[in-house]
Structure 1
Amino acid sequence: MKTMSRRSAIALGVTAAAVTPLFTFAASAKTKKYGPNEGKEISPGVRVVEVGTGNADIPAYKSISIVDVVFQPGAHAPQSVMDNDMVCTITSGAFTIKKADKEFKLKVGDMYTCAKGKTDEATNTSKEVGVHRIAVLIPA
């Protein structure tokens, strides 16, 4: 097992503490129903709705942008390279996520991360509209 320096442990703790409150309001997205034309379409049946932006107290990031990615049942977001580090939570639906080295399934309340420069692909495998609430970490 690799050891972690005190500085890395503190940075990880600060990052987790700063991002966690952003998801305390994620449950509200469960009740938010987006219209079929809200936001910007990024692929057929997949739309991005901007929720808000705020300053970050994390030294590596200047701000955090929150977006909801809304997937119609069965919709697929093709593989793309991540422009920023992101923390994602599923607020409705069920998904299969494919990364370069793994594939996994997620349901409501599950979280995962995406790293800048890495690839990600998502498919809504449920019969309901699915939503990813994403905290996009904007570098300083």
Structure 2
Amino acid sequence: MKTMNRRSAIALGVTAAAVSPLFTLAASAKTKKYGPKEGKEIAPGVRVVEVGTGNSDIPAYKSIAIVDVVFQPGAHAPQSVMDNDMVCTITSGAFTIKKVDKEFKLKTGDMYTCSKGKTDEATNTSKEVGVHRIAVLIPA
């Protein structure tokens, strides 16, 4: 094994120090565990919990609202028309998503998008509580 010189050791230390906050931020994005009565029920076994809002630097959008949609095992959100463009991340569980022209399966860590005016339908196909973390893009 090669020995590490002082310059390499300093470079490694600076790199580790710079990357550490990125892992901390990624870990903080995990969804908390929700109780069965938190948020507002939108369908049997499906609740929406408001996480927060913020201003947007994207010219087409004035703000972004983050919500968690919490699905009990086997729960189904019926087809609905999207009021806004959205970016959805599955933070727990597994889902089947149906759109007008396609159907697909997602698991924890997967992402998908929804367009304003289009329809979407979701079913939690896992045996655990499933959560969609949704960034709702609110037009300017």
TM-score (norm 2): 0.80
CA contact (8 A) 1:66 1:136 kept: yes
Taking the aligned partners of 1:7 and 1:117, their CA distance within structure 2 comes to: 57
Q: Moved runs in structure 1, 4+ residues, more than 3 A?
A: 1-31
When residues 8 and 53 of structure 1 are mapped into structure 2, their CA distance, relative to the original with a 3 A threshold, is farther
When residues 5 and 134 of structure 1 are mapped into structure 2, their CA distance, relative to the original with a 3 A threshold, is farther
Taking the aligned partners of 1:66 and 1:112, their CA distance within structure 2 comes to: 15
Taking the aligned partners of 2:8 and 2:117, their CA distance within structure 1 comes to: 21
Total equivalences in the alignment: 140
- Per the TM alignment, residue 101 of structure 1 is displaced from its structure 2 partner at its CA by 0.1
- Per the TM alignment, residue 41 of structure 1 is displaced from its structure 2 partner at its CA by 0.2
Taking the aligned partners of 1:17 and 1:76, their CA distance within structure 2 comes to: 44
- Per the TM alignment, residue 39 of structure 1 is displaced from its structure 2 partner at its CA by 0.1
Equivalent in the alignment of 1:58: 58
Taking the aligned partners of 2:54 and 2:123, their CA distance within structure 1 comes to: 29
Deviations 1:58-93 (A, max 9, x none): 000000000000000000000000000000000000
CA contact (8 A) 1:83 1:116 kept: yes
Taking the aligned partners of 1:60 and 1:13, their CA distance within structure 2 comes to: 41
Deviations 1:82-136 (A, max 9, x none): 0000000000000000000000000000000000000000000000000000000
CA contact (8 A) 1:90 1:131 kept: yes
When residues 16 and 51 of structure 1 are mapped into structure 2, their CA distance, relative to the original with a 3 A threshold, is farther
CA contact (8 A) 2:31 2:91 kept: no
Instruction: State the structure with more CA Rg.
Output: 2
Taking the aligned partners of 2:5 and 2:120, their CA distance within structure 1 comes to: 29
When residues 12 and 49 of structure 1 are mapped into structure 2, their CA distance, relative to the original with a 3 A threshold, is farther
- Per the TM alignment, residue 7 of structure 1 is displaced from its structure 2 partner at its CA by 43
When residues 16 and 44 of structure 1 are mapped into structure 2, their CA distance, relative to the original with a 3 A threshold, is farther
CA contact (8 A) 2:79 2:120 kept: yes
Taking the aligned partners of 1:67 and 1:2, their CA distance within structure 2 comes to: 51
Runs of 5+ unmatched residues, structure 1 = none
Taking the aligned partners of 1:21 and 1:136, their CA distance within structure 2 comes to: 26
- Larger deviation, residues 81-90 vs 8-17: 8-17
When residues 38 and 10 of structure 1 are mapped into structure 2, their CA distance, relative to the original with a 3 A threshold, is farther
**Aligned sequence identity (%):** 93
